[in-house]
Structure 1
């Protein structure tokens, strides 16, 4: 599941524990945000991703997923319904150049626990310019709903295998609104 294996010091570095969230609306669309740092990362068309972020020490992964969703989209816990989770942690390695910059070189990449939530609100509840009620720095400069099958093609290539696994795991959940 990881990209090309590292050798030497990089291979001995740990993965950063992280969560990811597939926020699925009633029409089956999945929230994706365009990273504000896309130009710096030279991501171009692959600047889109689902909300994700680190797990704090002692924090349950499910709680981290709810927190990260709020901190990146402003979607409150009252506006979501748990739909499922990927049973395994999914790792990815950062490209060597990015690894030197991200997290001060302490991690080789991330291992992610993914959760799917049904979105119960309206688009007006999403505010990537003032996430977390304005208490958090925006990570996205735009957002949209995408088809689940589109997601692997929107993300930076080194995350693509993780997104492919997430899409496969959550495909049965995309029609959650019709079943409720």
Structure 2
């Protein structure tokens, strides 16, 4: 594989979804060999608005309709992560070295019955609501720093 640092970052939208109890939605990835949980996230299509992409990805991954969420905040800056070297060239057809993500904090206005991870192209095999501060403990190691940065970006809105 050539130098991974020569590859661009994949543009992506990430969603931190808070329920009424201040807990965050996480899904357990269907394709992971380890117990990997993450917040909903996905690619931004060419010319697509990042917030529109976030809402689309939320629907595609969780079945949650835009009517069941309200925007609380947007991270001031894009956040980045690099793939581990052994994954560069294997995921996303080898086109990206990692992701540059625009993060959105939404409040979930619905009920658990409004969540349906059995979507057309399922990404999660299980889901849960967890305390925000535990996010870095459940994500794959190479995304832990990213999740700490997401928590820092939304800290003013997470205080109880």
TM bracket (short chain)? over 0.9
Deviations 1:119-154 (A, max 9, x none): 00000000111x2xxxx2100000000000000111
Residue 143 of structure 1: which of 111, 121, 127 is its match? 127
Query: What aligned pairs does 1:11-22 form with structure 2 within 5 A after superposition?
Result: 11-22=5-16
Aligned to 1:76: 65
Give unpaired runs (5+ residues) of structure 2.
none
User: 1:110 is paired with a residue of what secondary structure?
Assistant: strand
Residue 107 of structure 1: which of 89, 96, 120 is its match? 96
- The answer to whether residue 16 in structure 2 is matched with residue 32 in structure 1 is no
Q: Given the two structures, how large is their TM-score scaled by the length of structure 1?
A: 0.85
- The answer to whether residue 136 in structure 2 is matched with residue 152 in structure 1 is yes
Q: Given the two structures, how large is their TM-score scaled by the length of structure 2?
A: 0.95
Q: CA RMSD in A?
A: 1.5
Question: In 1, are the aligned partners of 2:76 and 2:153 still within 8 Å (CA)?
Answer: no
Residue 156 of structure 2: which of 147, 168, 172 is its match? 172
Higher helix share: 1
Give runs of ≥4 in structure 1 deviating > 2 Å.
none
